[in-house]
Structure 1
């Protein structure tokens, strides 16, 4: 499962609201479960295995008008160890028509009871662990009539989704897709819906013949029926967990690829067929790369990827058939601003086919062995394909996402046996922190041992349910070391170290003091490298921090230019490093890593007001080899300072015209735009013709500061091809222009957005409504956003939206005091409408 998109929803919310000026106090009102919550006292053990799934065979057809699935299931099981005469299957919200035991090709009815969630079946005899049996069930699945809730990462849990089934929604295809994680597969077929169950599978889907289908495994037959339908049968010969079962149906283009004789295919809506290779084309290389580093070749029969409209998460690693949200469908223009984002999602889901699909977390408490690995796989792919700078930037952003979560909602254990709801496990601890922990583990044991340990782990746990202790044992087997110290502090504990670093020079010796300042009693054991740069040479010292205060003394013949603590920049921590600015100048020029240079740029940004060397460093960094650091440097320049402005303008102008990165180019244009200098009008207007939507957005926003009417005219011309950041830029211009006729553009763009991308669009829309004094438009917009909260059906999302509506309402009330007459009355009416909507959304959130 990919948390939209490489972040959990909480990260999206914090980022979106911070961008709109939301306050910390507002963001803190999240409805986090209180410590005394009774649910937090329940030990979340792995599910007890009474019966084991062996094989599941399904025959399904769909009733589009009713949003029903008519299903027949043949489920082969056997007792796990102890003899049993009963079976409990998860079956949520179904009509059960028949339950029978199948013997000799005949069905014999069985007694059962059903409470709408579980099917309790009395078997025909007492079965031993050596005996298997086959259950037949005829049923109707009614997902739209089931009341369920989602999570921060998975915003709905109906299991089976009919998208535009009546064809009444314009510009939206008719599709069916499933989402099994966490325990929603049992909405569309009876099963034991637990991660520690695995079985083989066969699914036959009967659909109108104009549609294509996709499921797990291989398409083994297609039969055309007299009634204009077709029955496709997909077969999965290797066992996997029920939450990974999937179906998808729709009018898709299928673009074929191959890898070592296995089918690799990409299912997209037909307008995106020509972009398929640009979107997914690196998949075969990923298959080779991951197979090689793991020493374990991709084990499944094929690999397909498909997109789904209105998808309830980022992406899902259904075995051999990953489902992506429609965000994955991007044109070449959109991909210019994507910064390898789609590829990270593709990498994440593919890596799950080893970590999650092959070796599967035995319980949600151990979700780290699925999701932390998938998160870290993004780093591994970026490192392999685009270099360590790109990977380290990705890792830094992930760490910041985790630290932001801690600030607003507190920390949690990585392996967590106490939680309010299993959906809560899908957070920045499991994903982003878990990925950074694996990076530290890799550094602690070395690359060779790290990847060999993963190989040992996979081979030992293939097609089984597993947990973090088994990962530890694999590392101990390979390294010959006891690894409890690492796993106890990072896997079975919470928090992170806060380090204060200082230096003392005495004669020809330097002592490095590292003090742990975290408030918790926990003292961290941290193996790290200290690089000492002296006399033009670098000397590395590997040390271990293990006390509240540690000191390390080193000799030198020439006073060091730089002492670089945590030289590999791997420790997940907060650091306060007490050293002179001159060391940062040296660090930028000589220390090689992305984080070395980033830290130096950030130090220069703080010092640029009174230190000419800081200005020089920032100017130098605008020519950094990595576009992410060029972008950071450009955005860090304070052009209100005359010395900075004089040095920066030629560089920024050149970047705005010619930088090969659209992200960097846009950052430079934004900086120049804040000057509101007419000499750049031609440059800004030229940017509105750039292939990148992001550059166009920066150009038109900058132009609007000089000539709103001209920018407005260009915006009208750009409406016909507007995506990404350009939508928000045009909306901002329309809000300033105040033409009621333009409001429909913003409303329509919001309507066109679906899936979790709609959340980001909601914040843009609310920012627009905050600036507009048009009561009818504001009320319509509030209604649209309110409808979105119903779609997301997530208490955390709804709480944030509610809080932000209250914030805008307060602003409109304040604005009303500055005007009179109808303008004032309108603003007050808008504020009241927002407060009413906020209260309604909050009430719904509190029911979650």
Structure 2
């Protein structure tokens, strides 16, 4: 039994969560403490507070300072509300609990390793994937958001890194230290975080486009130089994403190193970053760029349901392209797109069990699969080509601003882009987001007179159920040396569509479609010009 359905957030709202935990029992691998939740009713007659909490044992529950009844069955912690709560009523619940926090069967949950104790906020096998419930009671869905206070007690000589900014550090005089972190921005439960070890802090100040804010990296002292060298381009990544997506809306940029070998996790302002990627080189710089971009795509706005994870992970994967472009130039961006485009065509469906899925209807077992990340990134690249850079960047920045700290859907995104750009984005979303598969286009035939070029564009489908409409295609007229003589964008519909352009008078030319790979479809093409 569990409570973490999005509908609970229509009735009750967790305004603020305080997590007070002792993380000192490395031998027994247990945590102990309490969570205090400030809860407000959104409708009348609420007589039950259902919370998600798995594995851990609840000792007692207090409502507004008075001990109250509860039941805890499976993952569902139920607290009767007497009297019932009505719209606007606010109550405070303090829940005392402890035990050994759970770990996902494949990826995520709580980990103990040497002098490290930390959690990863999603579980790949868990349903839902949100994994806040393994360490504090919550509404563990993508809809609910609250601000957080973290009060973490560690052994002396250890440091706790959490989301937000450090408010205080207190020596308790008993061989322990209390660390208090404040995160005023509201986040879903899975983005809350804690990591404890014998950390040092590498810190500097970043000058952003709207304000200055600290960058803090939690790392073992012996690895601090390696981390500085590996993260030498972090400021460039921050700058690239602020320029593309708008101002950084959090109080800190944070990465904390953990001995996790399955990747990283985008906890808000406290990204869990794998120790293998702190290697004194730039080999993994697109990984920290990916995770940083989640502070816009995934943390600032969050997919309202795990089936639409492309809104988080597809955009973060595209952000790797964008970071590469900002740092190394457009050619490096295009090379990266070309390499991943080829990978999608050759291996994409095989890596998701031989299946073709719509991006916005991803089955649970493939939420964190190849389609979500890589095809998601390529679809964002296509969106950029579809809209053009000026509209693309201005409209997504406006979207992130309008929906900041909210869950979003693909339909909301489509409608916003349509309104912002003046372009009906329904054909793009119907083709690339809401259905599986991809198209490919080629020239079936063309005719040319002095002032008119008629081209029949044939569209073929690769596991897509319907033909794509309003498909923008850049038509280039190219000479035998490969020089572009003329280019114009047309829009094709259906299996065969004859389009016309007012071409200049030319003696001879080749017709090339989408020469700049603005729309990555179901084929790749390399140009070879043979001259004598």
Tell me the TM-score normalised to structure 2 length. 0.89
Specify the alignment match of 2:170 in structure 1. Answer: 223
How many residues align? The count is 508
Checking the alignment, whether the CA contact within 8 Å between 2:386 and 2:518 is kept in structure 1 is no
Partner of residue 574 from structure 1, selected from 522, 525, 529: 522
Specify the alignment match of 1:643 in structure 2. Answer: none
Q: Aligned in 2, Cα 1:117/1:563: closer, same or farther, shift over 3 Å? A: same
Specify the alignment match of 1:363 in structure 2. Answer: 305
Checking the alignment, whether the CA contact within 8 Å between 2:119 and 2:195 is kept in structure 1 is yes
Specify the alignment match of 2:366 in structure 1. Answer: 424
SS of 1:286 mapped into structure 2: helix
Residue 256 (structure 1) shift: 1.2
Q: Distance between the aligned counterparts of 1:46 and 1:442, measured in 2?
A: 31
Checking the alignment, whether the CA contact within 8 Å between 2:492 and 2:499 is kept in structure 1 is no
Partner of residue 162 from structure 1, selected from 112, 115, 124: 112
Partner of residue 81 from structure 2, selected from 107, 123, 129: 123
Q: Deviations over 1:169-197 (max 9, x none)?
A: xxxxx201111123211111111111101
Q: Distance between the aligned counterparts of 2:478 and 2:348, measured in 1?
A: 36
Specify the alignment match of 2:511 in structure 1. Answer: 563
Q: Does 1:409 align with 2:354?
A: yes
Q: Which sits farther off after the overlay, 264-273 or 440-449?
A: 264-273
Q: Distance between the aligned counterparts of 1:512 and 1:538, measured in 2?
A: 17
Specify the alignment match of 2:191 in structure 1. Answer: 244
Checking the alignment, whether the CA contact within 8 Å between 1:45 and 1:365 is kept in structure 2 is no
Checking the alignment, whether the CA contact within 8 Å between 2:6 and 2:144 is kept in structure 1 is no
Q: Distance between the aligned counterparts of 1:520 and 1:424, measured in 2?
A: 19
Specify the alignment match of 1:390 in structure 2. Answer: 332
Q: Deviations over 1:491-519 (max 9, x none)?
A: 11111013344455667786544322326
Q: Aligned in 2, Cα 1:323/1:433: closer, same or farther, shift over 3 Å? A: same
Residue 140 (structure 1) shift: 0.7
Q: Distance between the aligned counterparts of 2:454 and 2:61, measured in 1?
A: 75
Q: Deviations over 1:45-101 (max 9, x none)?
A: 844423111111111112111111002111111123343011111000011100110
Q: Aligned in 2, Cα 1:391/1:576: closer, same or farther, shift over 3 Å? A: closer
Q: Distance between the aligned counterparts of 2:96 and 2:164, measured in 1?
A: 24
Q: Aligned in 2, Cα 1:449/1:510: closer, same or farther, shift over 3 Å? A: closer
Residue 452 (structure 1) shift: 1.4
Q: Does 1:543 align with 2:505?
A: no
Checking the alignment, whether the CA contact within 8 Å between 1:141 and 1:187 is kept in structure 2 is no
Q: Aligned in 2, Cα 1:499/1:73: closer, same or farther, shift over 3 Å? A: same
Specify which structure has the higher proportion of helix: 1
Specify the alignment match of 2:125 in structure 1. Answer: none
Q: Distance between the aligned counterparts of 2:214 and 2:524, measured in 1?
A: 52
Partner of residue 121 from structure 2, selected from 180, 187, 196: 180
Q: Aligned in 2, Cα 1:537/1:195: closer, same or farther, shift over 3 Å? A: closer
Residue 267 (structure 1) shift: 2.2
Specify which structure has the higher proportion of strand: 2
Q: Distance between the aligned counterparts of 2:149 and 2:311, measured in 1?
A: 27
Larger Cα-atom Rg:
1
Q: Deviations over 1:405-442 (max 9, x none)?
A: 314511101111x72x3x52112222111211111112
Q: Deviations over 1:200-244 (max 9, x none)?
A: 111111111211221000110111022211111111111111100
Partner of residue 52 from structure 1, selected from 3, 9, 13: 13
Residue 386 (structure 1) shift: 0.5
Q: Aligned in 2, Cα 1:475/1:45: closer, same or farther, shift over 3 Å? A: farther
Residue 560 (structure 1) shift: 3.9
Specify the alignment match of 1:630 in structure 2. Answer: none
Q: Distance between the aligned counterparts of 1:82 and 1:391, measured in 2?
A: 53
Q: Aligned in 2, Cα 1:215/1:406: closer, same or farther, shift over 3 Å? A: same
Partner of residue 251 from structure 2, selected from 282, 297, 301: 301
Specify the alignment match of 1:699 in structure 2. Answer: none
- 1:10-49 to structure 2, matched below 5 A, reads 46-49=6-9
Checking the alignment, whether the CA contact within 8 Å between 1:212 and 1:249 is kept in structure 2 is yes
Q: Distance between the aligned counterparts of 2:166 and 2:341, measured in 1?
A: 41
Listed as ranges, the gaps of 5+ residues in structure 1 are: 1-43, 150-154, 165-173, 587-612, 617-848
Q: Aligned in 2, Cα 1:176/1:520: closer, same or farther, shift over 3 Å? A: closer
Checking the alignment, whether the CA contact within 8 Å between 1:501 and 1:576 is kept in structure 2 is no
Computed over aligned residues only, the root mean square deviation of the Cα atoms, in angstroms, reads 2.4
Q: Distance between the aligned counterparts of 2:5 and 2:48, measured in 1?
A: 22
Q: Distance between the aligned counterparts of 1:490 and 1:358, measured in 2?
A: 24
Specify the alignment match of 2:318 in structure 1. Answer: 376
Q: Aligned in 2, Cα 1:375/1:576: closer, same or farther, shift over 3 Å? A: closer
Residue 564 (structure 1) shift: 2.1
Partner of residue 241 from structure 2, selected from 271, 284, 290: 290
Partner of residue 531 from structure 1, selected from 454, 473, 476: 476
SS of 1:524 mapped into structure 2: coil
Q: Distance between the aligned counterparts of 1:512 and 1:228, measured in 2?
A: 79
Specify the alignment match of 1:85 in structure 2. Answer: 47
Checking the alignment, whether the CA contact within 8 Å between 1:90 and 1:117 is kept in structure 2 is yes
Q: Distance between the aligned counterparts of 2:519 and 2:436, measured in 1?
A: 14
Q: Distance between the aligned counterparts of 1:264 and 1:142, measured in 2?
A: 32
SS of 2:226 mapped into structure 1: helix
Residue 353 (structure 1) shift: 0.7
